[in-house]
Amino acid sequence: MSEIEELYEELEEAQELDQVASACILYEEILTLEDEENVQATLLYVTDLIDLGNTGQAEATLLRIEELCEGDVESDWHAAFGQLNHYRGRYEDAEKNYRAAHELRTDRGDYLVLAAASAFQRGEAAKAEYLVREALKYQCEQDEAYSNLGTYLASQRRFEEAAGCFREVLKIDSGHEFAREWLADLEQVIGD
């Protein structure tokens, strides 16, 4: 096994154990050893930098690889910038980044789910509802999308519809505690 393969193995272990700081160190080693720029590894590194709160280095890293991102990787780049902007509280910019990612990968609704979350953070529940409904037309994490939609509808006092969304989540994952708790609360409100 080569040195780079060993590092990737250690990196996988660190990620499984949620050891973000160790993962960042391993990414840095990998990125200095590889002959050509590994953009996907760099984007994963950026995610860990954001998780550590190192937003300056995350942004600098994203800007450094921008020209290398083409095709599907370009959408991942926009999504990473969306994550950075969301973390920084720049929800409008985050939404734009996620929507740009979706425009490049229209087969993925997950980017619209993320855009919806950014809109909701700005207090735009109706826009968030629209975006997540659009996301459901594409391949996405259905349980997450319905769960978010239920939250957006509940914030608009549309309790019956919200309860229906949480029932959809429980059809997908009967053990989903968040959905179960929301549904119980909503049924009390609806029953009153």
Chain segment 174-184, per-residue pLDDT in tens: 999 999 999 99
In the predicted model, is pLDDT for residue 37 greater than 60? no
Residue 20's pLDDT is what? 74
pTM (2 d.p.): 0.81
DSSP secondary structure code for residue 108 in this structure: B
What is the C-alpha to C-alpha distance for residues 14 and 5, in angstroms, rounded to an integer?
14
Chain-centroid distance of CA 24 in Å reads 19
Rg (CA), the chain: 19
SS3 174: coil
**pLDDT, position 103:** 94
**What pLDDT, on the 0 to 100 scale, is given for residue 33?**
60
Average confidence (pLDDT) over 139-168: 95
pLDDT reading at 34 higher than 70? no
What was the pLDDT predicted at 18?
78
Q: Express as a percent the part of the chain with pLDDT over 90.
A: 60
Average pLDDT over residues 84-103: 96
Q: Can you tell me the distance from the alpha carbon of 48 to that of 44, in angstroms, rounded to the nearest whole number?
A: 6
